[in-house]
Amino acid sequence: MALKNVLLFLIVSALDAFFILLGSFMGHSIRSIGIFAGAIIGGTVGVAAAVWLAARLRLLERASYAATFVGGLIGFVVAAVIAVKNLHGPLIPMASVGLIGLGALLGKIVSHKRAA
């Protein structure tokens, strides 16, 4: 069980970081303000894709899919706020991506407690 949780954390964090970066690149090609819009869209799509992949890899049950997705989105919002407030250095924005995986993991745990 612990290995599944670690893998869920890593998959959600890494895949969402990739989608945020991709969304930022695509948004920047439109306009400079598009960087933030692209990152938001990319982050949301990244959470959905990562949770879907985790469900396909049987790291979480289908019943906890929605709670894991919502937890990942909440983690994404918290990570985005922290990253935007700390753009003067690269370390904090990069580390805040871990909050997305943590949010997804907490969403999974909450869904299991409600089912029990």
CB 82, CB 96: distance < 8 Å: yes
Counted domains in the chain: 1
CB 104, CB 47: distance < 8 Å: yes
Round to whole Å and give the CA distance between 116 and 104. Answer: 19
Give the pLDDT confidence score for residue 116 in this predicted structure.
Answer: 63
Q: Which amino acid is at 67?
A: A
Round to whole Å and give the CA distance between 48 and 74. Answer: 12
Give the pLDDT confidence score for residue 30 in this predicted structure.
Answer: 84
Full-model pTM: 0.90
User: pLDDT tens digits for the chain (116 residues)?
Assistant: 799 999 999 999 999 999 999 999 999 888 777 888 899 999 999 999 999 999 999 999 888 999 999 999 999 999 999 988 888 888 888 889 999 999 999 999 999 887 66
Q: Which helix (H) or strand (E) holds 61?
A: none
Give the pLDDT confidence score for residue 84 in this predicted structure.
Answer: 86
Range of the domain at 19: 2-115
